[in-house]
């Protein structure tokens, strides 16, 4: 009797065991429901069926749970419009302005971590040709040139860009460098000029491509951008000029090595030369200085081998009439006078974009009087950006610093002229 009872209990235990195992592995059986990865969430702008879209529009792409893997933008004739992504992936920028009163379709695909995809289309129509006032912009960076290592990328505006519109304008200014040397834009306080540079001087051989993509961009309430401009050039050898008022000498360096000392005569006390860090802006084999309209002017003179340093008319140039004074006393109207022979030699050595440092004179350089991107330190320069500047962008600390100390002023720029002196 007891034996039969034990056998029955054993058979119940054995029969019950598979039920426990089945309960632990039910999610692995055929036909069982399995969890699937959700497809990425995708938002594309402009919104579908949007109208009156500016021709500066970009294809905005916001994605959660994946990344953008394809963007195709076509016009109303089916032609593809080339576009490239911003570095932060926030949008795709057409490589040329869109056309007025045209319809475009953007098809965007995002792919999640598990391979699931989401594709979204948006169709929008651009605005008719604007009647707003066009802001005149000038890109002071020319294609197929060789510039000095201190060359900033400069864009000037007329009228000035109001403070509340500067971030939108800055987002449409693009700079690419090869090898990469990231930098930032910095605005003058009056909004008439914005300059771009990296924390350090450009490396010789760097290729720089610039695009000022402002055509059709709404600027404030009443204005619009005038044009889309692009240029690519390279950086040449490193040349710098240090001018010391105390010694009346110019020291000319190439790659940090002293090439020559040149006697100079600077501005006399009534018309002093500015102290600060300037950049060679233009070079003329022959030009005419006309100061008849200036308060302290009154002459017209032809000069040779002139190199502009400021908007206000400070040049380095040949001055045979002051050769006896060069290296001794200051007699000019603000320019740096050198001999004919030295002026000719300098023209063959220097490049637009070379750094020129003047020290020890009666006045300091006004910020914006020329290309003054190096007339302030990096931290001060970066404060002028209308957009956040990556915290990691800092100058390289070198045991052998570049000739020319970075320091400077912060006053508004005087009007550009060819006064000379």
Other beta carbons within 10 Å of 134: 15
Peptide bond into 159 cis (omega under 30): yes
- Tell me the backbone φ, ψ of residue 194, rounded to 5 degrees: -130, 140
What is the dihedral sign for C-alpha 87, 90, 95, 96? negative
Burial 388-419 (b: 16+ CB within 10 A, else e): ebeeeeeeeeeeeebbbebbbbeeebeeebeb
Query: Is the Cβ–Cβ distance between 66 and 111 less than 8 Å?
Result: yes
Total residue count of the chain as it appears in this document: 421
* Torsional sign, CA 332, 333, 334, 336: negative
**Within the chain, how many helices (H) and strands (E) appear?**
4, 28
Helix (H) or strand (E) holding 18: helix 2-24
3-state SS, residue 147: strand
Tokens encoding 207: 């290729």
Identify the active-site residue in 24, 317, 333, 402: 317
Structural contact between residues 215 and 227, judged by C-beta atoms closer than 8 angstroms: yes
Give the side-chain half-sphere CA count within 13 A for 5: 2
Cis ω before 179 (30° cut-off from 0)? yes
Mark whether 36 is an active-site residue: no
- How many Cα atoms occupy the beta-carbon half-sphere of 13 within 13 Å? 6
Residue 335 designated active-site:
yes
- Give me 325's structure tokens: 């004074």
- Catalytic residue chosen out of the listed positions 24, 36, 333, 335: 335
Q: Which residues does the annotation mark as catalytic?
A: 317, 335
């Amino acid at each position: 009797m007891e034996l039969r009872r034990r056998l029955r209990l054993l058979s119940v235990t054995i029969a019950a065991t598979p039920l426990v195992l089945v309960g632990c592995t039910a999610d692995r059986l055929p036909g069982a429901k399995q969890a699937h990865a959700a497809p990425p969430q995708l938002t594309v702008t402009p919104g579908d069926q949007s109208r009156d879209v500016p021709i500066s529009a970009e294809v905005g792409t916001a994605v959660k749970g994946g990344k953008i893997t394809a963007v195709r933008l076509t016009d109303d004739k089916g032609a593809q419009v080339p576009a490239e992504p911003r570095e932060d992936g926030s949008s795709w920028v057409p490589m040329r302005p869109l056309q007025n009163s045209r319809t475009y379709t953007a098809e965007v695909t995002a792919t999640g971590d598990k391979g699931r995809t989401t594709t979204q289309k948006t169709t929008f129509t651009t605005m008719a040709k604007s009647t707003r006032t066009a802001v005149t912009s000038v890109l002071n960076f020319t294609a197929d040139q060789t510039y000095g290592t201190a060359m900033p990328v400069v864009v000037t505006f007329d009228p000035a860009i109001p403070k509340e519109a500067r971030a939108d304008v800055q987002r449409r200014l693009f700079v690419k460098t090869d090898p990469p040397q990231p930098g930032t834009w910095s605005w003058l306080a009056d909004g008439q000029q914005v300059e771009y540079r990296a924390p350090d001087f450009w490396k010789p051989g760097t290729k720089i491509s610039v695009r000022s993509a402002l055509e059709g961009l709404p600027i404030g309430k009443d204005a619009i951008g005038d044009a889309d401009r692009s240029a690519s050039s390279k950086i040449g050898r490193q040349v710098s000029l240090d001018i010391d008022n105390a010694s009346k000498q110019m020291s000319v360096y190439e790659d940090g090595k002293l090439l020559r000392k040149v006697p100079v005569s600077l501005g006399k006390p009534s018309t002093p030369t500015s102290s600060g860090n300037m950049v060679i802006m233009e070079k003329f084999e022959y030009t005419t200085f006309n100061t008849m309209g200036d308060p302290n002017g009154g002459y017209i003179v032809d000069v040779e081998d002139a190199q502009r340093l400021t908007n206000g008319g400070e040049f380095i140039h040949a001055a045979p009439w002051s050769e006896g004074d060069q290296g001794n006393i200051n007699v000019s109207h603000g320019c740096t006078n050198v001999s004919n022979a030295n002026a000719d030699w300098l023209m063959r050595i220097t490049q637009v974009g070379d750094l020129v440092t003047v020290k020890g004179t009666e006045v300091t350089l006004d910020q914006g009087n020329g290309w003054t991107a190096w007339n302030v330190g990096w931290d001060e320069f970066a404060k002028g950006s209308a957009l956040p500047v990556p915290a990691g962008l800092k100058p390289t600390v070198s045991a052998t610093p570049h000739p020319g100390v970075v320091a400077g002023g912060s006053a508004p720029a005087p009007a550009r002229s060819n006064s000379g002196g």
